[in-house]
Structure 1
Amino acid sequence: MTLLLAPPPLSRLHAPTLTTLPAAIAANVDRVRSVTAARIMAVVKADGYGHGAVAVARAAVAAGAEWLGVTDAADAAELREAGLDVPILAWLNPAGVDAAQVARDRVDLAVGSVEELRQLVADAVAPVRVHLHMDTGMSRGGCPVGEWDELLRVARAAGPLIEVVGVMGHLPRADEADARANAASVLRMRQARDAVLRAGFGPLLVHLAATAGTLTDPSTHFDLVRVGAGLVGIDPSETVQLRGASRLTASVVHSSLVRAGTAVGYGGTYATRHETHLSVIGVGYADGIPRELSEGAGVEIGGSRHPIVGRVSMDQIVVDTGARSFPRGTIATVFGPEGAAVPSVQEWARWAGTIPHTIVTGIGPRVQRSRA
């Protein structure tokens, strides 16, 4: 007779996890409210800058944001299904627009060209609320100044199918934190608004500033400010301290003691300078860890920061922990808002030669998401 034994329990580790911190999002909304009397639109593009669109939206609305902003009108359906009932604006719509769905979901659309508006009029089966988008200096969308009058003529001819409720633009140089850099865009926004009012539309909601303009230049605020990166702790102007709204953690999956001169990682581009302990952390470039990092990049383990050594692999990074050995399963903090030994998203951006936005939006789908 053969005795069948139950299989042993699986070895469980802390899976790579990005934890969103709603309290930090609320604090960042409060910080924005302290510098403007304008209404606040919480922009939750790119899945809430990688933090979860619904989680970020809920925290921001609870803290006083009156609008939500998305890339695509289809993204609004998720927010509506989650019970978020505040106005939503979609202003890029790269896959086009389902006019019937827009009406059902009560989504406002930004329209930045005569061609786009004519198509919307042709497709509309119910009134659509529209924010006319002026190119205020970015040359990256928005109606050119020379076509603005024609855009207004098309809007007027559309009759009840098009309800013009807003005018918007973008600031190409807001991160310079210099009102002089924004002055031309502010003037163009005022001219666009005045032309829309003369055409008989109104009342209007006028909006130009994103996070950097909101924090540094009151002349850009108008009626509404659009805050996206600022919700998750990123000020592109780097002049205002906001609270990081996420923490990325992963487990030590392997540790070893190695001799001086031991090559680490693909290509052996790094060799240990003395006997030391190495810990392998279970995240890599497939999870959003930038492959090209400058010297000094590190993670927090056991209350201290330890340098990343060797090349970043698809699934792993290697950390030099010196005299300390960490057992399998020890949790490493890749980034977070705690400061001290814990790296910030801004530090990761400097190490990678990029901006913080790319760090948080680049976290891969294998990383689990949670909320504090």
Structure 2
Amino acid sequence: MTQTPPLMRTRAEIDLAALRANVRSLRERAPGAALMAVVKSDGYGHGAVPCALAAIEAGATWVGTATPQEALALRAAGVPGRIMCWLWTPGDPWREGIEADLDMSVSGLWALAEVTAAARALGRPARIQLKADTGLGRNGCQPTDWPQLVFAALAAQAEGAVQITGIWSHFACADEPGHPSIAAQLAVFREMLAHAEKAGVEPEVRHMANSPATLTLPEAHFDLVRTGVAMYGISPAPELGTSDELGLRPVMTLAASVALVKHVPAGHGVSYGHHYVTDAETTLGLIPVGYGDGIPRHASGRGPVLVGGEWRRAAGRIAMDQFVVDLGGQEIQEGAEALLFGPGTRGEPNAEDWARAAGTIAYEIVTRIGSRVPRVYLNERAEQAEQADARNSSS
């Protein structure tokens, strides 16, 4: 059974039962495709290794990261199966990637040259996936350069230096339903894919769908979907629906212990710059986290916290290590729990509430929670997940 987390200054509770449930739900949305669990940026702040393992238990057959260093760390920690990484720079550890059986993305001739040289030196073929820039304008090969890259990759494959395992791309606006770039990018991807296959590429997987496309664009599912933020129970965009409406359960709960409660008179300034001044005699509660822990300073004066059963707002500026809430005269004991965000099952705010307060997206809210905040993992074993699911179903 889940243990009550120990009292600590702050903690990020990571409910792996919720993550498994999200993976299962996303697999149901794309029944004809395999699922890649994207755990870049330390699992969007949730912890890459525990989340990767939980996702695999729930049926994910691929794991994805941005950098090769992230992918190598997963492999060193014992994460099995297929691991893909896509953000390479010149001089990166291609040889180590080959030795770790990674699938490595190639977007240009320089990358193909480096991975081919590493494979030749090692005497072992590299698994590569060719990325097409279909309109996002970031990483990936432009359509005009695509024939040259495909030709060179096939030549390297013919000599036994590489194995082309996939062709893929990424959407620019899949989180904006009906955006004209969605259909345009799909058309370009199909054209680039057709060219590669006609030239002789036989990809194991073709993939383009991120979280929003997995949820709303079945025509983009192809052989594999890459689920990132949705796997952590966060809606990819408010326009697509809330987490609850999308059948997702937020995985992270950020909590802190109230460090100090004190009575102050009317006219008392609070925090740097005195941007908040009490308008009456009141009580102030000190929340011992700040932007050094990843709490966005832009949410000063607006960031919501559940304390004593009531929503309170950050009073004045959020500092590096702490911020203050005006308790409105409510008497709270030091050590009481303050919930910054979570799934909302106890009436607490969610990550989207903080995103609105900070003028950003919920992706950033969870990803920026720093290493000073301990992660406490709940329902780490599969049987615990099943028990949690049964409890949620009966409630």
**TM-score range normalised by the length of the shorter chain:** over 0.9
The one-letter code of the counterpart of 1:235 is: S
1:150 to 2:144 alignment = no
| Cα distance, 1:294–1:181 mapped onto 2, change above 3 Å | farther
- CA separation of 1:41 and 1:96: change in aligned 2, threshold 3 A: farther
Match of 1:25 among 16, 19, 28: 19
Q: Structure 2 CA distance, aligned partners of 1:330 and 1:42?
A: 36
Report if the CA contact (8 A) 1:167-1:192 is conserved.
no
How many matched pairs?
Answer: 361
Which has the larger displacement, 312-321 or 180-189? Answer: 180-189
| Residues 134 and 189 in structure 1, CA contact (< 8 A), matched pair in contact too | yes
- Aligned-pair distance for 1:77? 2.6
Match of 1:216 in 2: 216
State how far apart, in whole Å, the 1-side matches of 2:140 and 2:301 are. Answer: 41
2:61 equivalent to 1:63 = no
| 1:3 corresponding residue in structure 2 | none
Correspondence list, 1:231-310, <5 A: 231-238=231-238, 239-240=240-241, 241=243, 242-293=248-299, 295-310=301-316
**Bigger mean CA deviation after superposition, 228-237 or 104-113:** 228-237
Q: CA deviation at 1:51?
A: 0.2
| Inter-CA distance 166–132: structure 2 relative to 1 (3 Å threshold) | same
Match of 1:8 in 2: none
The 5 A counterparts of 1:158-197 are 158=156, 159-178=159-178, 180-197=180-197
**CA shift for structure 1 position 180:** 4.4
Residues 1:250 and 1:143: Cα distance change in structure 2 (over 3 Å)? same
The residue that corresponds to 1:88 in the other structure is 83
2:46 and 2:52 mapped to 1: Cα distance?
A: 10
Tell me how far 1:302 sits from its aligned partner: 2.2
CA contact (8 A) 2:301 2:316 kept: no
Alignment correspondent of 1:72? 67
Paired residue type of 1:166:
G
Rg larger in 1 or in 2?
1
Distance 2:185 2:262 in 1: 57
- Counterpart contact for 1:177–1:213, Cα < 8 Å: no
* TM-score of the aligned structures, taking structure 1 as reference length: 0.93
SS in 2 for 1:163: strand
Partner amino acid for 1:198?
A: K
Q: Shift of the alpha carbon at 1:235?
A: 2.4
Q: 1:13 to 1:65 in 2, by over 3 A?
A: closer
Deviation sequence 1:159-199 (CA, Å, 0-9, x none): 21111110000100101022744111111111121112112
Percent of aligned pairs sharing the same letter: 40
Superposed displacement of residue 295, structure 1: 4.9
Q: Provide the secondary structure at the position in 2 that maps to 1:174.
A: coil
**Bigger shift: 64-73 or 297-306?**
297-306
Q: Is residue 95 of structure 2 the alignment partner of residue 100 of structure 1? A: yes
Name the CA distance, whole Å, in 2 between partners of 1:359 and 1:96.
32
2:29 and 2:78 map into 1 onto residues whose CA distance is 29
Question: 2-side partners of 1:114 and 1:348: how far apart?
Answer: 42
What corresponds to 1:366 in structure 2? 372
**1:95/1:339 Cα in 2 relative to 1: closer, same or farther (>3 Å)?**
farther
CA contact (8 A) 1:296 1:351 kept: yes
* Aligned 8 A contact 1:177 1:212 in 2: no
Does 1:114 find its partner at 2:109?
yes
One-letter amino acid matched to 2:133:
D
Using the TM superposition, name which of 116-125 and 308-317 deviates more: 116-125
Residue number among 129, 134, 137 corresponding to 1:136 in the alignment: 134
State the SS of the aligned residue for 2:73: helix
Cα 1:290–1:231 shift into 2, 3 Å: same
Report the Cα offset of residue 340 of structure 1. 5.6
Q: Unaligned 5+ residue runs, structure 2?
A: 1-5, 379-395
How far, CA to CA, are the matches of 1:283 and 1:341 in structure 2? 20
- 5+ residue gaps, structure 1, are 1-11
Counterpart of 2:213, as a letter, is G
Any idea what the Cα deviations from partners look like across 1:250-282, whole Å, max 9, x if unmatched? 111111011111111111111111111100010
Cα pair 2:300 2:316 within 8 Å, conserved: no
Structure 1 stretch displaced more, 64-73 or 339-348: 339-348
Provide the secondary structure at the position in 1 that maps to 2:259: strand
Supply the RMSD in Å over aligned alpha carbons. Answer: 1.7
Correspondence for 2:36:
41
Q: Structure 1 CA distance, aligned partners of 2:358 and 2:345? A: 19
